[in-house]
Every structure is written in C-alpha cells, then in structure tokens.
Structure 1
Amino acid sequence: MEKETENRSILDASEGQTYQTYGEFSGSIQNMKDDVMDQRDGPKASPGTDIELDEEGLSSSLKTTNTECIMHLLKGMLGTGILAMPVAYKNGGLWVSLGVVLLIGVICTHCMQILVQAGIELTKRTGLTDLDYSDVMEQAFATNDRTRKWSKVARISVNVFLLITQFGFCCVYNVFIAENIQQVVEHAHDFSLNDKAYIAFVGLLVVPYVMIKSLKTLAPFSTVANLLNWFGIIVVIANLVQDLPDYKIRSPVGKLNTLPLFFGQAIYSFEGIGLVLPLHNKMRTPAAFPGMTGILTLGLTITICLYNVVGFYGYLKYGDDAKGSVTLNLPSDNWLYLSTKLMFAVALFISYGLMFYVPFNIIWPFLEKRYTARTKKELPKYAEYVCRFSLVCVICGMSALVPHLDLLISLIGAFASSFLALIFPPLIQLVTFQCSKMTWTLNITIILLGFFGFVVGTYSSLLEISKTF
C-alpha cells in the first residue's frame, strides 16, 4: 500500500504497518484523509534530509499555520452540500430552515469540539499521538473498564460509516457531474438522452482517472479543483442576490412529509467531522484549534453563514423550482453560468479521485490480506485494477438507481452522517470523561436527536426514492 511508512498504525509501532490484526478492514480512514491533505500542502522532505524535528518527530515546517488550517477546514466543509441548500430550504420552509440550519450548525460545532477535547485527553492518557476519529472512539472505549470489550466494535463502527459516506460522496459526485453536463449539452445541441446514459458516460470518464495510484499525481489537480469551487461559489451567490421576490411568497414552514428530507440534506452538509482531528494534529499551534474563539469555531461560523446565504436566497429566488443543486437553476443562456456549471463538474470530477482513494485503500488491503491468508498466494497485479473498475461500476450502478441528487444527499445524510456528526461524538464524551448530570442530559438529547433523524430521515428518503421507480 502506497505511503505505508507515513501512515503508521497508532496501535502497532512497527515500521510500515498501517493495519492492525483486527484492522485489516478498519484501518484508519482519517489517516488517508490526512495523507490527502499532506499532498495538498506540498512535498515531504526526502529521506536523509537534515531538518529540525519537534517533540513528535515531525518537522515544524511540515505543519500547517492557522490560516492554512482554516482554509483546509473550509475546503472540507464547502462541497456539494452547500449547492443543495436551496432544495433543503424548500423542504424545510424559509424561516424554519434558517433557524434549524443554524441550530444544527451549532450542535455539529459542539460535537466537533468535544471530539477534539476527547482526542486531547486520550492522547495524554494513553501516550498515543495523531489519533483520528476511529482511534479516539476505540481508545475512549478501551480506557473505560465498563466498555473495554466493545472497543474494537466501536472502531469498526466509525470506519464503516466513514466508508459509507465516502462511497456516498462518490455517488453524489457522479450524479452531480452527469446532471450539469446534461444541461450544458442539451442547451448546445437539440437532443436529449436518458439521465442514466450521462451517468454511464461519467463512469467511463472516471475509470482511467481512478486507475491513478499515486496521491502525488492527484495533488496538483486538487489545487485546480479548489480554485474552481471557490470561483463557482462566488458566481452562484452573485446570481442568487439579484432580482429577489418578496419573502412573503415563500412558505415559512415545510410540509410534514418533507421535513425529514430537509434534516438529511442539512446534516449531509456538515459532514466534515472526519477532517477535524487530522487538521488539529497537523497544526503548528494545536491549542489555537478548539475553544469558543478557536479556528474550528471560526471555520464553522463561516460555513454556517455561507450555507444559510445560499439556502435562504436560493429558495427565496427559485422557490419550489429549486433543484438538487443550485447550479441546475442557473440560466442556460448565459456563457458565465454555463461555464460555472462546467467548472463545478470539472472540480468534482477531479475531487472524485481523492474521494475514491480513501475507501479503496481500506477495502483493497482487506481483500488482499484475506486472499493471501486463504490461498497462500499473492493476488496478480491486474487484480487491483479489476477491483478499481468494479467499484466504479458499483458506484455508477447505485447512482443510476437513484439519479436524483436531492434524494441521494438526503439518504446519505440521514443514514450515515447522523451517526458521525451527532451520535458518536457525545457517546465518546460520555465514555471518556466523568460528566455532570447536565452534560449527560445534553449528550443524551443530541444522541436521541441524531437517532431520530437517522430513523425518520432514512425512512422518508427511501420512501421518496421508491416513488421515483
């Protein structure tokens, strides 16, 4: 597995080991995300280079500044979720959505804060460093006498949901790219194809791209994707604030049957919790990250504001015509907006490779190790490419099965993000610390909220998806 020596196992100090005995499947997804960010930050020092190391053995020049950290945080938070906020507002209602997105944002920020606090405490308690989400979950359970026997299950649970979200993101990207290309092509030429044909076409384009194994090769493209994303968001906001109707014509409260969809779409947008611990671990001044006035709070405040700006003005402008991505509502008779649609499509196409890299490097070592253990033989070299191709086909099949961007986002948000963003962090705090009755009450409330959103949101999403067949 590429870059094994950089992604050492926290629980196994031997050189080059990335997966524990039980972790051949549950190897750290966060370390992979961390690895992606390392490539964005620049090249690493070559072996033998004379550099000054800090107490953790990492050159301070390789750690991120506060500005770099907040930029990485915003990159991780501002994806397809922000473009789906207008349709989320449509499902939730203008004023209810404004308040609930703010509330969910505050709760998610709180959950990210307690995850970081637990990571800091468990680092002190165990002496382990660079703990990621699954590591924190495992160590929280392992250092508590009552929950120690569940520590491995806890770790695997986190990684399974992280794996689901990563593949879910790939499905969303596939549909997003297909729908935006479809609009541009059908505007330029007087013909139309089935949605599934465009999804298949995107899948064909993706196949050679995901065959790239090296993150160093993908890193320069990631920089281009970030620039395209930021430019596109600026163009979208500029369009949304023009020619606005009276707010009174929009429904202040969504329908009862669409509110669960709103929850899934809103919580999907805050699915950046997987990057929080790697970002904290990579900072030159990690003490500046948590807290009410820290980098995390500042980044989430900016994120919540941007979500509400795009959602509020997007729904106010387009009303019930708001689509799964606000880019689909942009006029097709203007070269700037057509270019913006293509820019977002290109940006997400580039990001697809990075999103695919994370789950593949969890699944492939698992399959390889199992095959070797059973047959005492190594897999042929072409097997990895076959596996990559097969996974792309599975993703395309799932995308074609649910070619509705808003419903797909709602399902992923309700099913997986509810656990990662709302349920697991409070559970970690309760297991890690001696909590007061007030803290217990708050955390149990958040857990119940997340579980309720998981059940109702998943059911409503599946119900709406079934109606499309």
Structure 2
Amino acid sequence: MSGHVNQGFSGDGTNGNHNDYPGAESNKDVARKSKDNGFFTIELSDQKKSIEAGEYDPYSWRDVEHPTTDTETFLHLLKGSLGTGILAMPMAFYHSGYLLGAVGTAVIGFLCTHCIHLLIRSEYELCKRRKVAVMSYPETALAGFQEGPPFQRRIAFIAPHMVNVFLLIYQLGSGAVYTIFIGDNISGVFAAHGITVNVKLVMLAALLPLILINCVKNLKYLAPLSTFANIITMVSFGIIAYYMFSRDFTFDGKEPFGEVKNYPLFFGTVLFALEAIGVIMPLENEMKTPQNFGSPFGVLNKGMVVITILYTSMGFFGYIAYGSSVQGSISLSIGDDIPGQICRILLSMSIYVTHGLQLYPAIKTVWDIYLLPLLSGSNHLVLLEYVTRVFLVTFCFVLAVAVPYIDLFISLFGALTLSGLGLFIPAMVDMGTYWHQRTGKTFIFTMIKNCLIILLGFFGLVVGTSTSLNEIINKFSEA
C-alpha cells in the first residue's frame, strides 16, 4: 500500500513539525504552548476565551489551508490504498484457498477498519483533553499511553519512537518491494522477446532514476506525475481484468483451503495490501468536515468497504484464473503478448513515481527528526540531506537485490510492521485513552476486545514474520 504518512516525533516526545497544530495555534488566541510532565497544554492570550475541557472541539479549531471535501477524501483514500499489494492478492489466495481467502480478507478488512476507528476516536478525545487541534500518529500514541494504567505510563516514552520505527521499516520495505516490482516486470518484457536479462541488473539500471525522483524535495512537483501514474494504473488494471476474465472460470485444481503452514503468508500479504493506517490520519486532519470521516456511513467505512471488495475480487478471480501458476504479482502471470507487455511497462512507470511518494515521509522522519538536530551546526546541511536521500534509496535497492522475492517481501513487511501499526498499537492507545472513563460491563468488554486484538497483533507479528523469513531461507536453499 502506498501513501503519505504522518510526520513523526522528535526524540524528546515533542512534535518534529511545528506546524502540526494550525487550528489550535491561532494568532488571536494562543500565547504559547508548553509541555508539563509530558502533557501538552495551551494558554490563551484572551482570558475571556478560556476554554473548559468539556467545551473544546478540536474540529472547530483546525485551520487547514486547502481542506478536502468528503468525496475528495474518499478518492484520496482509494488512491492511497491501490498499490502493489492488490497485485499480490491472487498469490495470497493461493496460500489460503479461495474460500478461506474470501472470508479471511473480509475479516481482516473489518478488523483494520475497527482499529482505525479506535485510533481516530482516541486522537479526537486526546486533542480535547490537551486543547490542541490535531495530533499525528506518534503524538497520539504518546498521549494515549500517558493516560493509561501504570505499566503503560512507564513505557509511554517508547510509544512515539515505536510508531516511527514501524513506519520507517514499512516505508523502506515498501521501497524495496517497488524496486523488485520494477525489476520483475521489466525483465518480463525482455523475456517476452526472447531476451534474458537478470532481474538484479534491471534493478541496478533503475537505481539512478529512483535516486533522482527521491531527490525532489517538494511534492507539488510530483503532483502532475502522480496524476499520470493514477491514470496508467487504472489502464493497467483494466488490462489485467481483461486477461483474468478471458480465461475459463473453473474451480478444478483450485483449493478452497490452503495449507495451514501458509496461512501466516496470507495474513501478512492481506495486511500489507489492506492496511491504510499510514494515510488515514493525514486525510482526516485535512478534511473540511472531519466529523464525517469516522461516522457510521462516513468516508472511512465507505472507503474500506470498497477497498475490501476490490482486493477480495482481485484475489479470488486472479487465483481462479491462474491457480497454482499464479506469481507474486499477477502482472507477471498475464500473457506475454503486446497488451501484457504494455501492462507491465505502465505499472513499472506508475510504481516508479509511487516510489518517490512512498519514501518521502521516510526521508522526512530520518532527516528532520533524527539527523537534523544532531547536525544543526554543520555548514553542509544541504549536501548531507541529499546524502541521506541517496543512502535510503540505495538501502532499499540493496534489500531488493538481497531478497528479490516480491511475494515474500510483501508478506514479511506486512506482518512485521502493520501487525503493530494497524492492530496492537491502536488497541493499546484506545485502552490507555479511556482507562479512567470506562466502568462496569463496558470496561470489561472493551478490555477483553482490546486484549484479543493486541494478542492477535503480536501473534501475527511473530508468526507472520518468522514464517516469511523461513520461506525466504528455503528459497535461497533451493536456488
């Protein structure tokens, strides 16, 4: 899955981006912002506008320069969720079987959506208590842990860094996946003409263009390319659909249930494909009517229903069409004739642009939050920033060359990072945020529910990661 993510946290628990609270920091009303025992407070210059905790509405204090409508946010959510993950869904269904795959994708989609609701609701509640307009994911994690029981408060300082690390690993892993994708698909085009080109050489040839697009500092310069990438992605999906539905629709040789040992691979792949946690909070924070985002028939629920249906359909029909011969990306399974070659080239072009968008927040996190404070006295900051950009792109390239298996990479990084970002961290934030408010049966029910999500997240992280690593080792031993 591709998309932008929230800015991270600085090392002391404060926000690395000083413009994250535009609504709360109105020139008229805010004298200063301080941090008292780890909690954010705001003092208003106009004492007549003193705000009681119960009266403060973060939504009304947000000052977004170009707010998005519900429809625009819905389209951004769809765009941010349509990446390489959807092309790996047929392989996920091969691991799970078509019946378990359909049911499992729906269940994981529901679970991901529920955890996003937990995070959005916690952010709103914590913003009310601290009288700030908006919080990033790392800030929400810190504040939620600080509100929780003693054991959560003791480890609260770790929470924002844990989120930053998971986000960083996810973004760098996605960069490696995109590099492998380009290598596989372009080498497939050469193979269609009887020319054998090593995938690693294709990735090496793509390294310099990838470095160049990741040296673009302002995303507005990538906007036209992003629009073009969206168009050619839709054309490519149309070509893939043509190939899928032109084949005989038969269940012969297709299993309703896969091998149990491969279920963690299915889990990691679907989580990587479906989980939109990286784009959710920025989208909600930029809305004209953010209260419509998490409502029962709001943007989030509508968007996740559509996304889950799209991913389930791609997985189901892709597996039924190609069976056990399906490859890590379905673009590699379609025909080698002209439309198939065009599809691979168009998707490679689209993923090339997406690579620059995907690594943008990773570069911002590493440079702005962790390196810049250490190097602030240097006279070569511009050069050092470009060195950082080149290093991160090259690191993704090295990962891709070291493990050039796109399906296993997707499963690995899905289980390793999104089990935490999308499941157990939102549940822990919700637990801490409402720890002192829930009583009786509500407290017991939410505790049991959140604990089950936390256990599932940790189980998925450990088992999914170990299974993917084991499969990677087996691949190398077979080579």
Please give the range of the TM-score, normalised by the shorter of the 2 chains.
0.7 to 0.9
Under a length normalisation based on structure 1, what TM-score does the superposition of the two structures give? 0.86
1:281: how far off? 1.4
1:152-231 map, 5 Å? 152-188=157-193, 190-231=194-235
Partners of 1:22 and 1:355 in 2: how far apart? Answer: 26
- Please point out which of 274, 279, 301 is paired with 1:297: 301
Partners of 1:88 and 1:8 in 2: how far apart? Answer: 28
8 Å contact kept, 1:112–1:273: yes
Under a length normalisation based on structure 2, what TM-score does the superposition of the two structures give? 0.84
1:225: how far off? 1.3
- Please point out which of 22, 34, 42 is paired with 2:12: 22
Pick closer, same or farther for the CA change 1:443–1:55 going to 2, 3 Å.
closer
State the match for 2:418 in structure 1.
417
Partners of 1:381 and 1:304 in 2: how far apart? Answer: 42
State the match for 1:344 in structure 2.
347
8 Å contact kept, 1:113–1:291: no
Is the partner of 1:327 in helix, strand or coil?
helix
- Which deviations, in whole Å up to 9, do the C-alpha atoms of 1:117-155 show, x marking residues without a partner? 111111111111221211111111223463334332111
State the match for 1:353 in structure 2.
356
Number of equivalent positions:
426
1:236: how far off? 1.9
What amino acid does structure 2 have at the position aligned with 1:359?
A
Task: Check if 1:263 corresponds to 2:267.
Answer: yes
Extract unaligned runs of 5+ from structure 2: 21-58
Partners of 1:380 and 1:134 in 2: how far apart? Answer: 26
Partners of 2:375 and 2:77 in 1: how far apart? Answer: 38
State the match for 2:389 in structure 1.
388
1:172: how far off? 0.5
What amino acid does structure 1 have at the position aligned with 2:153?
R
State the match for 1:243 in structure 2.
247
Partners of 2:84 and 2:374 in 1: how far apart? Answer: 35
What amino acid does structure 1 have at the position aligned with 2:127?
T
What amino acid does structure 2 have at the position aligned with 1:152?
F
Which is further off, 282-291 or 410-419?
Answer: 282-291
What amino acid does structure 2 have at the position aligned with 1:279?
L
8 Å contact kept, 2:226–2:353: yes
- Which deviations, in whole Å up to 9, do the C-alpha atoms of 1:233-255 show, x marking residues without a partner? 23322322222332243111111
1:284: how far off? 1.1
Q: Report sequence identity in percent.
A: 33
1:220: how far off? 1.5
State the match for 2:459 in structure 1.
452
Task: Check if 1:102 corresponds to 2:102.
Answer: no
1:167: how far off? 0.5
State the match for 1:331 in structure 2.
335
1:20: how far off? 4.2
Is the partner of 2:155 in helix, strand or coil?
helix
- Structure 1 segments of 4+ aligned residues over 4 angstroms from their partners: 18-21
Extract unaligned runs of 5+ from structure 1: 1-6, 10-17, 32-53
- Give the superposed CA RMSD: 2.3
Which is further off, 383-392 or 287-296?
Answer: 383-392
- Which deviations, in whole Å up to 9, do the C-alpha atoms of 1:344-392 show, x marking residues without a partner? 11011011111121111111232232234xxx53335322222222222
1:146-157 map, 5 Å? 146=150, 147-157=152-162
Task: Check if 1:318 corresponds to 2:322.
Answer: yes
Partners of 2:6 and 2:200 in 1: how far apart? Answer: 41
State the match for 2:49 in structure 1.
none
1:59: how far off? 5.3
State the match for 1:465 in structure 2.
472
What amino acid does structure 2 have at the position aligned with 1:196?
K
Task: Check if 1:126 corresponds to 2:102.
Answer: no
Partners of 2:123 and 2:415 in 1: how far apart? Answer: 25
What amino acid does structure 2 have at the position aligned with 1:358?
P
What amino acid does structure 2 have at the position aligned with 1:458?
T
